[in-house]
Amino acid sequence: MHQKTKLKSGLRVITVPIKGTRVATILVLVRAGSKYERKEISGISHFLEHMFFKKTKKRPSPLKIAEDLDKVGGLYNAFTSEDYTGYYAKVDISKLSLAVDWVSDIYLNSLLPEKEVEKEKGVIKEEINMRYDNPMARCQILFESLLYGDQPAGWDIAGTKESVSNITRKNLLSYMKSRYIAENTVVVVAGNIDEKSVKKEVSKMFSGIKSGKPKKNVSVKEEQQKPGILTDYKKTDQTHLCLGVRGYNLFHSMRHTQKIIATILGGMMSSRLFIKIRDEMGLAYYISTDVESNPDTGFLVTRAGVDNKRVNEAVSAIVGEYSKIKKEPLSDEELKKAKEHLKGERSILLESSDALAHFFGTQELLREEISSLKETFKLIDKITVRDVQSVAEDIFRPEKINLSLVGPSKKGKGFEKLLLPC
């Protein structure tokens, strides 16, 4: 059972004891993501994440920062999303004090040297090139751009090569000062821990965190009247597509039902789309359906890579399954299978300390309310056949459907009529 403590500074600390493990994870999450950025310096959240691995007074080089945890076999990294950035270290329990010291040091004391800022621009531009050269990743970027357009929710988290070039050390310091504050931060420690001593240690190591009043991000505007299509011409051996609909955010009461629908459609090897598209039609090697629910946005999307000559078939088949699930009530047996799959999958995924830290930390950061796995399962168990059909009727509509494509398709000609039956 987790415990939450709010320190005088406003910093929230969550401890998650786990018996029978030799490891522990410390994860620090901050409300600093691409939705909080300005266009001219988009990508700054991600840029700052990179810079935290460069230099602190205590660890004066990238080598020193990396070596401390490499010497003990620790796993460590950072990540940036639309809504938050995270820094973590996972170590043998005997090295937890080192991990707390390491994470707090880079989080609070990074110096952002000018020379490293200029060098890192080249690194990030190559990361952008890598993502754009990967058709699967590029297709997902296009899909979210199609959904949200020219606003923070529609921008690539990494920014553009132009915006990254514009970012200065002064920008980074200003952004860090405004976002990296106690009220915006959650520290989670999960593993075979003594909670009392961990809280004391975290309180001490993060005592230097600054306080302030967090700024809210700009509200996302969602406007759509007809199917949306966005293509990126690329000479590829297969066409990669993201076909999905606007859905429910993190606070919506039917978000778990939306996840059940994704599971039924393409969340397992016996799902409708896997059987239809791969096993029966032989159209794709990979096909899956999933949902993303953020504080102010949400969507359901099917991803697939298909034969360039059979894209229309694939799109029609996926839309057909979308239409079917809203028109024909599923059986009690199929609903039960989806529920049990979802619960079993989550139980397995949350076996590790880093996964549990993320599970509890993101809920606290984004919702300011934590539901246990048991409480989540109760909500899933309450979902009815009618709930599924009602949600399907709401989200699978022509004015909510969107298709992004990466491959040798010419400007999406003929695709709109294929989306209308949804």
Question: Residue 236: inside a domain, yes or no?
Answer: yes
In terms of residue numbers, what domain contains 359? Answer: 228-419
Residues 9 and 156 in one domain: yes
Counting Cα atoms < 13 Å in the Cβ hemisphere of 415 gives 24
Residues 320 and 382 in one domain: yes
Instruction: Report the pLDDT averaged over residues 194-221.
Output: 94
Residues 150 and 260 in one domain: no
Q: Maximum distance among all alpha carbons in the chain?
A: 63
Query: Six-digit token pair at 338?
Result: 């989806």
Residues 142 and 247 in one domain: no
Q: Which residues of 261-287 are buried (b: 16+ CB within 10 A; e: fewer)?
A: bbbbbbbbeebbbbebbbeeeebbeeb
The pLDDT of residue 74 is above 70: yes
d(CA 252, CA 350): 23
411 pLDDT band (50/70/90 cuts)?
A: low
d(CA 357, CA 34): 22
Residues 400 and 288 in one domain: yes
Tens digit of each residue's pLDDT (9 = 90 or more) over 363-402: 999 999 999 999 999 999 999 999 999 999 999 999 999 9
Mean pLDDT score across all residues of the chain: 96
Query: Six-digit token pair at 100?
Result: 């707390």
Residues 236 and 375 in one domain: yes
412 pLDDT band (50/70/90 cuts)?
A: low
Tens digit of each residue's pLDDT (9 = 90 or more) over 156-170: 999 999 999 999 999
Q: Which residues are 241's β-sheet partners?
A: 304, 405
CATH classification at residue 94: 3.30.830.10
Can 49 be counted among the known catalytic residues? yes
pLDDT, residue 420, reads: 87
Question: Residue 151: inside a domain, yes or no?
Answer: yes
Q: From the candidates 49, 82, 120, 364, which is the catalytic residue?
A: 49
Instruction: Report the pLDDT averaged over residues 393-419.
Output: 89
Given 3-state DSSP classes, what are the helix, strand and coil percentages for the chain, each rounded to the nearest 5?
Answer: 50, 20, 30
Residues 376 and 410 in one domain: yes
C-alpha torsion sign, points 86, 301, 265, 247: positive
Tens digit of each residue's pLDDT (9 = 90 or more) over 323-350: 999 999 999 999 999 999 999 999 999 9
The pLDDT of residue 410 is above 80: no
Instruction: Report the pLDDT averaged over residues 79-95.
Output: 98
Question: Residue 395: inside a domain, yes or no?
Answer: yes
Whole-model pTM: value is 0.95
Question: Residue 294: inside a domain, yes or no?
Answer: yes
pLDDT, residue 414, reads: 79
Residues 160 and 267 in one domain: no
Number of independent structural domains in the chain:
2
Q: Helical H runs in 110-227? A: 114-133, 135-148, 161-166, 169-179, 195-205
Tell how far CA 167 is from the center of its chain: 24
Instruction: Report the pLDDT averaged over residues 62-73.
Output: 98
Question: Residue 220: inside a domain, yes or no?
Answer: no
Residues 188 and 236 in one domain: no
DSSP string, 243-290: EEEE---TT-TTHHHHHHHHHHHHSSTTSHHIIIIIIIT--EEEEEEE
Q: Which amino acid is at 125?
A: K
- Tell me the percentage of the chain whose pLDDT exceeds 70: 99
Instruction: Report the pLDDT averaged over residues 320-325.
Output: 97
Question: Residue 350: inside a domain, yes or no?
Answer: yes
Residues 156 and 289 in one domain: no
H or E stretch at 90: strand 85-92
218 pLDDT band (50/70/90 cuts)?
A: confident
Question: Residue 215: inside a domain, yes or no?
Answer: no
The pLDDT of residue 82 is above 80: yes
Residues 28 and 173 in one domain: yes
Instruction: Report the pLDDT averaged over residues 207-231.
Output: 93
Residues 189 and 241 in one domain: no
- In this structure, the strands spanning 12-17 and 185-191 are parallel
Question: Residue 210: inside a domain, yes or no?
Answer: no
H or E stretch at 355: helix 353-367
The pLDDT of residue 413 is above 90: no
